Each structure stands twice: as structure tokens, then as C-alpha cells.
Structure 1
């Protein structure tokens, strides 16, 4: 006897869109869009920030993939569409495009070209979606994706655009810093997430800023691959090695690595943070990194395990024992999987070996000489690496780098009291190629900072300090004049 009187189909309330994408960061949202590009067969992707009056007001992700026909475009805009994903596809839930986009914008526009002279456009507005999940079908004559598709060399492809964005709109240099920082964080995240695809040449990702008022884009910056296991040598003979966790018929391979001690580059200090924060599992699905570190309650995080990184590549074997969150930022292991890994043969020995290497390396570690804190003028990526790699002289104020009008023949000057390095602005066009900004000429500025920062230490300069600065200035002034002559000669 059944206790059911009747069965009702309860349609979801469109108001659910208010919470859609609430847990996305900018980096995870853009990565979700790029997943769609990879699934569409794209080998080039461009991420463009639009600015007006110095404010970031929009974002586009353009790819040279297959594009979509009208039916596919409709399905792409449907919330939670269910379909069978291919064995090599990154899609998973059917909400990625919408959740990622509404996390940072109130309007999503998709323009797609599946073949020459064929265009389709769809637009979702948050207000319409919350009311009745209405989607606008755009007039093909109004769709102009060609300029962005040309940037990725695509005769076919798709452009996803965000407008009415939630980006900061505060004025002044703080905003510029936000945009620089956003580009840096995005580049780091995409470089880590897609490092296998980038390294193998399967996809090229670039980031650029477009000034709408000047109708001009800056120089696109290619995203560099960041391999979290890209170390030249192993810390221990016999590693990396593969262990196996057995769950019934499923065998989950554990690629156990021990990071060489005293590693300090971007492969170890992911996102500029302490590499110890990324001990644990690195989980891939179709060569896309889903999780960067964390022990998933198999063991506890411990400082002595800072050098232990375990790669899990076989996602099909893992899939029945984990839950992946919609933002693809974290994975929850089942209790059975946790136990199987903890019991895997030689896994405790592996952890012990990693702990021993770390402990021994700390006994021999030397301290790096502190430097002055870098401030405005140096690119945020450079400042991030300096802060991560070198201790700062905290008792002193930060050092800025600025362009200024200096006497002819001088390359730089130091303002000790103002804690500022001044570069002669007459050389700025040559050193920047004309693309100026708060953080321009990063290589020249970084070298000059490293050369002179020690002279901001202490109370005053002695005769030797002053003479050394004069010598450096004379040599650098001669070098920049030679550089100018060399470039002018090449133009003739």
C-alpha cells in the first residue's frame, strides 16, 4: 500500500538566479567560460577587460572554436541543461556559463559564428531571468564579433560578453591597482589551471585591456603555464612514484612527489603564497586542474608536509567516489576514498619521507638579506614575488619609482627623504614602447630597484655611497644613449 496521494512537478522559481554563482571568484568564473572554449575545440582564447574613463566596465572571452548554431545557442543559455558530455569535455553541470557570468555581471551576451556569414546572438538580463527566465534573440545583422574573433584568428568561434558588471568603480590609483591585481591573479589562476594544455600547445590564452574611449587595446599578455610539479630534480631517490588506492574494482593512482627543498619559484609559491599552503592532492580532469592542494581529510595539513604533493590523474576512477562543486574549485572525497588512500601501501612511508626532507632542509636553511618594501611604480606581479621571496625591512617605509623631468644626461636620482627613485622621463617612450602606465617598464624599474634599494637603509649617505650612485648613473645614462642609438639605427 502506497502512502502517496499524488505527484506534482514543481518548476523552479526563476528567483533562484539571485544566488547563482555566489561562490565564484573572478578567476574561477573566467576559467569556467574557458572550459566551454576548450570543449568547442578552440586553441586560442582572449580575455579582454573593457575600460571607460579608467574604470573597468566589461569583460569578453573570445575563442576560435567551432561556434554554435541557433539551437545550440539556445541550449547554452538554458539553466541546468542536461546532456551527455564527451569523455574529454570540461563541462559538468550545465550551469557554468550562466553562474560564472551572473557572478560578476547583470547582462550576458553571447555572439557565435559556426560558419562563414552565419551569426547567432543571445542575451540574458538578470531582471528578465529573475522574472520569467526570458532570453533575447539578437538580430544577426546587429552582431559584430568579427573584431574579437580576428584577435584569436578565428573564422568561427564564440564571444561571451559581460556588461553591467560588478567591478569596482572607485576613482584614483586604487582602481588601477585593482585592475593590475585582477590581471595578475587571473593570469596566475589560468596558468595553473590549464598548464598542461598551455605547455602542450593545445591552447594559447591571452589577457588584454581595451580602452573604449581611445578605441585601442593594450598589448595582450600571454598566460604562462605554471606547473606545480615542474621542478628540475626530485628531493628523494625513488620519487616521484605511483601508489594505488583500491576501492572495489576501482584503482586510483596516486602520483607521489616530494618537492625539492628551498624551492621558491612560482611553481612552488602558487598565487604568491607560501608553498606549504599547497601540500596535498592535485587533481586533474582531462588535463584541467580541479584542485591545487589540500588533503581532503585523508590526513591533516602540517608544516612538515610542505613538500608533499600528490597527483591524481585518473578522474573516471575517482568520479564515483567524489563530489565536485559547481565552481570546479573543490572536491569532496567519500569516506571510502579517504580510507582507501590512507591505507594505500607505502603511503605513510611517503609522508614520512617528505617530512624528513623538510625537517633536514630547515636545519641547513640560510636567511635571505631583507630588502626595502616596493611600492607604487613597480608592477604588482613583481611586488608580489618580492614580498613572497624576500623578507622586507618592516621598520622602514616603502620605496616608490616614478618618472620625472631630470637634467639632461642623468638616468636616475634617489630622493632619500621621500623614499622615491626617479627615472628620467625623456627616456620613457623608448623604454616602454609608448605603452605607458603606473607600472610600465617593469624590467628596467625592477633592476633599478634591486640595484638601489639598499641605499634607503640607515640615516644618511656617506661619500662612498654618493660616489657609487654617481658611477651607476653615469654608466646607465651611457647605456640608455647607446640603446637609443641602436634602435634609431635599426629603423633606418
Structure 2
């Protein structure tokens, strides 16, 4: 029969003890408290990471996470380590809600709640099995939420260690000190599926997501080449987890564009500091290999932003703390923000160690002084890749337009004649007479491309400009103009829409040649400039197209 550790029996829902004739002690209801603390905001990934934190705080060098699915008994989760382990007193303290403060303030464990709240966020039965330094005895304690509700007391069970639990502990701890955390009655991980196959797929996605989360959160522990932390081996279902570096430091094209160490005065006796470094990661096509690009999640818009490390453990990632919205031109910028435990209170580190709150001075410094230059660098690199991608996709996108316009150009030119007389100069004959006219003269660069000519850029940010290509009347089309990128680019594969827009611009170019003269040439140029500038403003709030995104995300 199971033993248990229980608080002193009290038959009243609220116990009252007079103190100094004025104070009373009000004991909380065990069931309501323990159930309420299941909802502290943990995700499955952050909950498992909180258990791993305890392993690292116990100086473990090996941590094994096992997620076992049984069709009858559901999911059971095990986290085993080879840390220092605990004796009977240590186990009782570890299972206490609000356990004793750790001697090491730099510990990854902080509030004395994580083991319990993280575990019961997903299970109704939490067991801890441990072998400490003092002797070889393996001990086990257990919070069973249903049992607590039944007794309405803080009843901590002391069950017998099972053979399976002992085997799992020894497999990781190799017969030495260590701890095994067991989650049973897991009721909040997977929803109910009618088909068993769907549940298996959902669990696989969950495990894959957890593996990446661990690779990101404990990168500095997992990477043997990173000397900022001791090396720790972590596996999930027997597969070792490899470190994931958000900053792509092994890629030649990664740029460190800003690096600052900021001193913070907590009080007169405790000076402290944090480090902030900004990296511009490679564009998708700049990675050394396709595999490197895929692993780095390069160009993924969701991965931009701050990566916040407390004591070398990632606690928050992928946002800008409300400074900026995520938009594609910032997708290459990733910023490291590292601090130690001395700044916990200053940054308001929460119970889950999952976020910080910046004070106004630091917020303003980062936004207005530190980040402007890195944001410009990231934007510049992104736009270079954007231009290449637009040019690549637009190379053949205007072929149908060229064929359509060329087939009808002779009947539409209205008697407009051009005769080349010099560099970028023609003798132009139109309704206004015959005169010399400045115009760009080009040779055909691609078979059939004699009417619509996509170019990288045009002077003064023009969207289009009339030109002559091998004697034919044509227009140059600026692929760098926002109108082209936001209106043209998303529909370049749709011939009818592209042909319609191209035909409009070519018709404007032809109308200009048919009516321009020496007195109005500057006015036509001003008209093109004004229309181009107006279109730029009109499309400014349109969504950015998915230019150069990594489809393998």
C-alpha cells in the first residue's frame, strides 16, 4: 500500500488560528489551488524545457526525454538525467509548491514552482524518482491530483519504484546519481481523435516541434564548440538533439553589424550588464548549401527579432518587444540579447522564464540608437535579393505582351516615324512635325523582346519610359519601382493581367511619341515623374509580396 506525506489533518475548509489577538491563518483549498496552478500559461515545449532546466541545475551532463504512447494508457512522458539527484528530504522539498531557494542564484531554476506547475499543466500524476549522493537507495514521491482532490489535503504519495522506472533512470545515470521525472494521466497534450492514425501523426508533429525547441533553447549547452557553457547531451526518444544557431555564425555571408555591452546600475553594490549583438543572416540563395539554408530557416519572416538569453539559456525569441512589426524587409535581422541572473528583477523574468519586460530607458536605447543601423543593413541586403528575384521571375513574364503588341504595332503607330541620328537621339516625325528628340536607344537583348523591356531601374524612380529597340517603339519598365513589385510581381505568371498592364504603359509611350515636340518634351517627362511618384505612394500600404521566401520553411 502506498505511503504518503500529508499536512496536519484539518476538518475545516478554512483553518483559523488566532495570532496576537488579531491575525488568522487561512489555509488554501488544496484541490482548487492545485487545479488552478495547472493554468499558468505553459506550452508543451516550455513545460518540458522547465524540467530540463532542473536537470541542468543539478549539474547533469546527460538528459533523455522519452515520449511513450500506449493505445490503452495514453501518453506517458519521462525525463531522466545523471545530475546530483536527491535524498528523501530533497525530494520532499522539490515537490513542495514554493520549494526552498536554491543556493546558486544563477541556477536555471528560479521560483521553486516550475517542476510542479510545468508538469501538471499537462498531466494529473507527477512522479519524481531519484538517487542521491548519500546512498544508493532510489526513492520516489508522487503528486496525484485526483488523490489530492479525494482527500482534500496536500497528500504527497510515496509509492514503490517500478522496475521500468529504475531501468530508465539507470540507463541515463549509468547506475550513479540522477533523477527521473514521470508524467502520467497526460490529459492536455493531444485532443481526442476518431482515427488512431491521426493521433499518431499529431504526436509526431508534437515531438518534432519539441526537438527543435530544445535545439534552440539549449543551443549553447548542446554545441561542443560553444565555450560559454558546459556541453550537455540531450536526446528525444533516443535521437540526440543538435544545437540550432539562430545567427548562422558558421555561414560566411552572416554579418555582425552591431555589438554593445551595456552597463546597468541595479544598486551601488551590484553593477551588472547585458550584451546585445545584431546579425544580418544570408539571403536564401547566399547560404553555403540548400541544407544549411533549410536548417537555418533562412528568410523566414517569423524568425526575425530578439533572441533573449538568461544564463545562456534562451527564454524568448522572434519578436521586437513591440518596437516594430514583422515585415519581410526585416526578415534577415536577428538580435542576441544576453544577461545573467543579477538582472532578473530588473527585467521582470516570469515564472516560466519565457519573457522579459524592458524598462523605458533600455527600450528607447535599443529602438532609437542601437537598431537603426542594423535594420538598414538588413533591409539593404533583403532588397538586393529582392531585385534579383524580381528580375529572374520577370525575365520571361512579358513575352506574351511583346508578341501581342508587336503583332498590332504597325497599325497603331499613327504615322509616327523615327530615324536614329546619334547616341540616344532620333529624328522624330509625328502630328507636330519633324524634329530632333532625345530618347534611349537599345538593342534587343532577348529574342522577341522589342516592345516591353524590363530593366533593373530607371533614373528619378520612373515606372516607365519610352525607348527605341532595334528601330521599334518600346517602353522600359522599372522592376525596382514599388508598383512593379507590389502589383506586377504577384501576377507575373498570369499572362492576361500582365499583358493588360503592359499594353497600357506601351500605349502611353506611343501616345507620347505621337504628340511630343520641343516645347512639350519636358512636360511629358514631368508627367511620367509625377505619375510614378503618385503610384509609389498609392501602393505604399499594399502588402509586400512573398519575394525570395524560402519555400522549404
Residues 140 and 160 of structure 2 are in contact (CA less than 8 Å); yes or no, is this contact kept in structure 1? yes
Conserved in 1, the CA contact under 8 Å of 2:105 and 2:341? no
Paired position in structure 1 for 2:142: 123
1:206 corresponds to which of 230, 235, 240: 235
Query: What is the match of residue 126 of structure 2?
Result: 108
Task: Tell me the distance in 2 between the aligned counterparts of 1:271 and 1:99.
Answer: 32
Structure 2 residue 54 is matched with structure 1 residue 36: yes
Residue equivalent to 2:182: 161
> Using the alignment, how far apart are the partners of 1:182 and 1:271 within structure 2?
20
Residue segments in structure 2 that go unaligned for 5+ positions in a row: 1-20, 225-229, 266-270, 394-553
Aligned match of 1:297? 322
State the partner residue of 1:243: 260
Whose Rg is larger?
Answer: 2
Look up the match of 2:307.
282
Question: Matches of 1:270 and 1:293 in 2, distance apart?
Answer: 16
The answer to whether the aligner puts 1:313 opposite 2:330 as a matched pair is no
Which residue number in structure 1 is paired with residue 409 of structure 2? none
Q: 2:159 aligns with which of 98, 122, 138?
A: 138
Q: 1:340 to 1:269 in 2, by over 3 A?
A: farther
Q: Are the structure 2 counterparts of residues 266 and 80 from structure 1 closer, same or farther at C-alpha, using a change threshold of 3 Å?
A: farther
Aligned match of 2:34 in 4, 17, 28?
Answer: 17
Is the 2:216–2:243 contact (alpha carbons within 8 Å) kept by the matching residues of 1?
yes
Q: Is 1:257 the counterpart of 2:274 in the alignment?
A: no
**What does residue 353 of structure 1 align with?**
377
Offset, 1:119:
1.9
Question: What's the CA shift string for 1:55-90, capped at 9, x where partnerless?
Answer: 742111111111101111001100122414514410
Check conservation: 1:111, 1:143, Cα contact below 8 A: no
Using the alignment, how far apart are the partners of 1:100 and 1:91 within structure 2? 12
CA distance in structure 1 between the aligned counterparts of 2:291 and 2:322, rounded to whole angstroms:
26
Following superposition, the deviation at residue 258 of structure 1 comes to 1.0
Q: Give 1:325's aligned residue.
A: 350
Query: Structure 2 vs 1, CA of residues 132 and 268 (structure 1 numbering), >3 Å: closer, same or farther?
Result: farther
18-27 or 60-69: which moved more? 18-27
1:136-163 deviations in Å (ceiling 9; x for gaps) = 12346x6764311232143111111111
Q: CA RMSD in A?
A: 3.0
Residue 66 of structure 2: which of 24, 45, 48 is its match?
48
1:171-230 per-position Cα deviation (integer Å, ceiling 9, x unaligned): 42112102211211111111111111111262111122xxxxxxxxxxx21112111113
Question: Aligned equivalents of 1:47 and 1:117: distance in 2?
Answer: 23
Quick one: structure 1 residues 329 and 129, their matched pair in 2 at CA, closer, same or farther if it must change by over 3 Å? farther
Compared with structure 1, are the counterparts of its residues 267 and 134 closer, same or farther at alpha carbon in structure 2 (3 Å cutoff)?
farther
Give me the whole-angstrom Cα distance separating, in 2, the residues matched to 1:132 and 1:306.
52
1:440-484: per-residue Cα shift (whole Å, max 9, x none)? xxxxxxxxxxxxxxxxxxxxxxxxxxxxxxxxxxxxxxxxxxxxx
How far 1:343 moved relative to its partner?
Answer: 4.3
For structure 1, the 5+ residue unaligned runs are 209-219, 369-492
Looking at structure 2, the residues matched to 260 and 272 of structure 1 have their Cα atoms a distance apart, in angstroms, of: 11
Deviation readout 1:338-366 (Å, 9 max, x if unpaired): 1232344x532222222222222211137
Query: Which range is displaced more, 35-44 or 275-284?
Result: 275-284
33-42 vs 128-137, which moves further = 128-137
Change (3 A) 1:253 1:125: same
Q: State whether structure 2 residue 77 is matched by structure 1 residue 59.
A: yes
Question: SS state of the match for residue 319, structure 2?
Answer: coil
Q: CA deviation at 1:134?
A: 1.5
Aligned residue pairs total 351
Could you list the per-position Cα deviations for residues 419-453 of structure 1 after superposition, in whole angstroms to 9, with x for gaps in the alignment? xxxxxxxxxxxxxxxxxxxxxxxxxxxxxxxxxxx
Of 191, 197, 222, the residue aligned with 1:173 is 197
Q: What residue is the counterpart of 1:150 in the other structure?
A: 170
The separation in 1 between residues aligned to 2:291 and 2:140, in whole angstroms, is 40
1:74 correspondence with 2:92:
yes
Q: 1:250 to 1:203 in 2, by over 3 A?
A: closer
Out of 174, 177, 192, the residue aligned to residue 216 of structure 2 is: 192
Deviation at 1:16, TM superposition (A): 2.1
State the distance in 1 between where 2:71 and 2:59 align. Answer: 36
